[in-house]
Chains A and B, each alone.
Chain A
């Protein structure tokens, strides 16, 4: 599903964010991406959604080399990838319904179809009664669920989440992760970047760890030794 081949990314300022990173995530897999702040997690996700381009190496989705994707094709790539951000990236002057409907409007769905799909997905994230509210009137956890609803409303085969639980307490964080598990069980590949090691430690998922731009571990959380703060191989 996602394959990195010897990918390095150096930002224009000379900051090396990723160094020769290689890994493969299979279709329908759920994995975490972790590491300290500044380790390169966001950069890695941005290479998948083509918000950045690799300096060296190849990123492939479903066997397609993203280096060959032209600028004008990028929007169509993003329609296959549901993206969730720590800052939600919601439109604050539009209702929850309109926010979630946005990807469907962009893809030209009919009015009827949009209504049906948005209701279904809001039901799934537990916000059926908040459709007419403005995001500002929602709690942090609810806002994040609006973001998730928007990411999955057009049923993409791949979900990327960058610090989706960043501002939430452990209980709310767990609820959000449960949501991701639901979608994963429906066959969606999920990659979640988080520096919240406590959260991942309680689960049994494949975890990729970055340190200063290098991939230092790739394995199941339960294989980690006791010191979770600085996982070693």
Chain B
């Protein structure tokens, strides 16, 4: 579904992403791991159009998407969450999801029909599925950190993506929030067959839920394979796992 071939992105002279290869098949959960500053976030920005690659190819469903605008890539079927919570802080939980649903339905240029109550059923269904229904009228800025992260996933889901990209979905979460988030990711994958690409520092969690893992160090792909293959890879052990354990 997604194929990344020797993609490079540099800032000034510094190559933040320097030859990444990645393959994500339909229905898979793929994790990207790597130490701080390895270029994971930069890679995700390249995939969703927030940055354009200097060279290399990014193919989604067989078509080149490198360099397209974020909103175009979203419409092609990729939505995402960000490492730092990224929602509409002044809008309610309900409205955050509603605006995403309306965007997907291309209704954002309706200027005279009242927005109130539009797409209500679907928004409620989405909020129930992520257990935020009871807080639907809360101004989203007032949510707990964990709930904000989950809301952002809900917003991303509202676009009915084929590929969901999550940049450190559990970062900063309390243990029980992390647990809930993992269950959510599993459920999405199992129930709707959603393809998920995520990165995460919690190695145990990664090995627990990912079908395949790609290891990135200093901007480059070291290896991509099953958990077992990655564990056996000596380069990974020396460059990453062995040296710093869970970083």
On whether the two chains bind one another, the answer is: no
A: residues with CB less than 8 A from B are none
B: residues with CB less than 8 A from A are none
